[in-house]
Amino acid sequence: MLNIDLHCHSNVSDGMLSPAEVVARAAANGVHVLALTDHDDVAGLDAARVAADAAGVTLIPGVEISVSWRGQTLHIVGLRIDSSHPELAAGLAGIRAGRIERGRRMGDDLAKSGIPGAYEGAYDCAVNKQMVGRTHFARWLVAQGHAPDIRSAFRRFLTRGNPGYVEHEWTSLESAVNWIRASGGMAVIAHPGRYAFNARDLHLLLDAFRAFGGEGIEVITGSHHPSEYGKFADLARAFGLKASRGTDFHAPAEGVDIGRLPALPHYCRPVWQGWPELAPHFSLSPA
Ligand code: AMP
Ligand code: MN
Ligand code: MN
Ligand code: MN
């Protein structure tokens, strides 16, 4: 079986490893096909490509776009994107500009709760200064002793109703799907089990996403409990969406390791069906 992991992060966004280190770890874990999907930035793809060619890993250029839809934040993964496409590049640059302004507001909010200097601290924790996110704030809060670990930092701070959480308007679902499609890519709903939607809103989302030209949904992800796999496999089938598999790997000590998840249920139609990049892995060795 091919090991295909279509969701992971490098330090170009909120991962801990460089793009080349992510690829090396994927190769060591037996991953054949890897998509690097940093939040709102594609700056790691060139280095990942060089490392993937050297390691014999098939790299799929990807991105994970932050979206606001009906008052909630969603993540839309773009796969097989052209990272140099001007419409996609401009859209992502706009989101990153919004992150800087949001980061300052998060810092102000934490300062009001007696924790000054958080934006500067998070900024120092980020390798890519355009991509400061909540994970960088969480790492700084842990380093300063305000929380014992990342998970607690998110529980006490940075989440709705807690210090450091500010509302933010990301891009629209329609724009994210359009940018991905304009660049030749496929749009996939990331970790659907993480959103606090009731069944009606979830169905509305799947219908809207399909109508905008979205094609896939993550079924097997590090964010889903195994008991959720069947539900999202069934929803994919019911809504005519292809199924994806990705760990959402961020760092060696956080969450699921690259490539370490079960296969898609057999009745799923995989997002990678028909991708020419996979052909080398299927060629038979000469008899
Ligand atoms: P941002 O895009 O800046 O809002 O940050 C979102 C990122 O924060 C996600 O991609 C995760 O990496 C991380 N994250 C969100 N919620 C949690 C949580 N409860 N525990 C650990 N990491 C989280
Ligand atoms: Mn993240
Ligand atoms: Mn995500
Ligand atoms: Mn992710």
pLDDT on residue 284:
57
pLDDT on residue 285:
55
How many angstroms separate the Cα of 85 from the Cα of each of 6, 49, 91, 130, 178?
Answer: 20, 17, 10, 19, 12
The distance of Cα 13 from the centroid of its chain, to the nearest Å, equals 10
pLDDT on residue 16:
97
Region 227-252: mean pLDDT is: 97
pLDDT on residue 165:
98
pLDDT in tens, 46-84: 999 999 999 999 999 999 999 999 999 999 999 999 999
Check if 135 has its Cβ closer than 6 Å to any atom of ligand 1.
Answer: yes
SS3 label, residue 122? helix
**pLDDT higher than 60, residue 287:** no
Tokens of 143: 């380093």
Tokens of 203: 């169905």
The pTM assigned to this predicted structure is 0.97
At a CB cut-off of 8 Å and minimum separation 6, what does 9 contact?
15, 22, 36, 37, 38, 39, 64, 248, 249, 250
Q: Whose CA is nearest to atom 11 of ligand 1?
A: 135
Q: Residue 200 class from Cβ within 10 Å (0-12 exposed, 13-18 middle, 19+ buried)?
A: exposed
pLDDT in tens, 129-168: 999 999 999 999 999 999 999 999 999 999 999 999 999 9
Alpha-helical (H) ranges within the chain are 19-28, 45-55, 86-112, 118-125, 134-143, 150-156, 173-182, 199-212, 226-238, 279-282
Smallest-distance ligand from the CA of 37: 4
pLDDT on residue 198:
95
Query: What is the fold, at CATH topology level, of the domain defined by 97-156?
Result: DNA polymerase; domain 1 (1.10.150)
Tokens of 160: 């709705």
pLDDT on residue 1:
87
The alpha carbon of 158 and the centre of ligand 1 are apart by a number of angstroms equal to: 9
Region 182-191: mean pLDDT is: 98
Check if 154 has its Cβ closer than 6 Å to any atom of ligand 1.
Answer: yes
**pLDDT higher than 90, residue 189:** yes
The alpha carbon of 284 and the centre of ligand 1 are apart by a number of angstroms equal to: 42
Domain boundaries, the chain: 4-92+169-281, 97-156
Tokens of 113: 């709760």
> What is the average pLDDT value for the chain, to the nearest integer?
96
Q: Which of 90, 62, 61 is nearest to 76 (CA)?
A: 62
Query: Which ligand 1 atom minimizes the distance to the CA of 254?
Result: 21
Region 222-235: mean pLDDT is: 96
Looking up tokens 């990807």 gives 62
Check if 133 has its Cβ closer than 6 Å to any atom of ligand 1.
Answer: yes
Region 222-227: mean pLDDT is: 95
pLDDT on residue 286:
55
pLDDT bracket for residue 282 (50, 70, 90): confident
Q: Whose CA is nearest to atom 13 of ligand 1?
A: 135
Smallest-distance ligand from the CA of 160: 1
How many angstroms separate the Cα of 25 from the Cα of each of 16, 34, 183, 240, 286?
Answer: 12, 11, 28, 33, 30
pLDDT on residue 254:
86
Region 111-125: mean pLDDT is: 97
pLDDT on residue 19:
98
2, 32 contact by CB (below 8 A): yes
Decide which of 281 and 211 is more confident.
211
3-state SS record for 227-283: HHHHHHHHHHHHCCCEEEEECCECECCECCCCCCCCCCCCCCCECCCCCHHHHHHHC
Per CATH, is 4-92+169-281 categorized as 3.20.20.140?
A: yes
Out of 45-59, 246-260, 272-286, which region has the weakest mean confidence (pLDDT)?
272-286
Check if 102 has its Cβ closer than 6 Å to any atom of ligand 1.
Answer: no
Buried b or exposed e, range 95-104, using 16+ CB within 10 angstroms: bbebbeebbe
| Percent of the chain residues past pLDDT 90, beyond the cut | 95
